[in-house]
Structure 1
Amino acid sequence: MPQLNPAPWLLILLFSWFVFLMIALPKITKHDLIGEPAPKTIKTHDSTKWFWPWH
C-alpha cells in the first residue's frame, strides 16, 4: 500500500516545519502588540471596622 510508505510524507512534514520555523515564525514574532496593557491602579478601600451589635 503506497500510503504507508513514510518516505515522501516524512520529507514533506519536515520541509513544512522547516519553512514554518525559519521563515514564518521570525516574521510573526517580529510584530509588536498594538495595545500593550497598562498596569491598573490599586484602589484602596475604606478600612473602617464594622462593629456588630451582638458582640
Structure 2
Amino acid sequence: MPQLNPNPWFSIMIMTWLTFSLIIQPKTLSFTPTNTPTNKTPSITKNHPWVWPWS
C-alpha cells in the first residue's frame, strides 16, 4: 500500500508547515485589524408575556 510510505509526503508536509509558520504566519499577524473591539454595555431587555386570545 503506497499510502503507508511516508517518504515523499512527510518531507512535503514538513516543508509546507515550516513555510507557513515561519514566513506566511508572521506576515498575516502583522496586519492591524480595521475594527478594534470595544466594550459594549449589556442592554437589559424586559420580556413581555404573550397574551393568548383563546385563553
| Band of TM-score, shorter chain | 0.5 to 0.7
- What TM-score do the two structures reach when normalised by structure 1? 0.63
Unaligned 5+ runs, structure 1: 44-55
Report which of the two structures shows the higher radius of gyration computed on alpha carbons. Answer: 1
- What TM-score do the two structures reach when normalised by structure 2? 0.63
Runs of 4+ in 1 over 4 A off after TM superposition: none
Deviation at 1:42, TM superposition (A): 7.1
RMSD: 2.0
Count of aligned positions? 43
Unaligned 5+ runs, structure 2: 44-55
Q: Percent identity?
A: 40
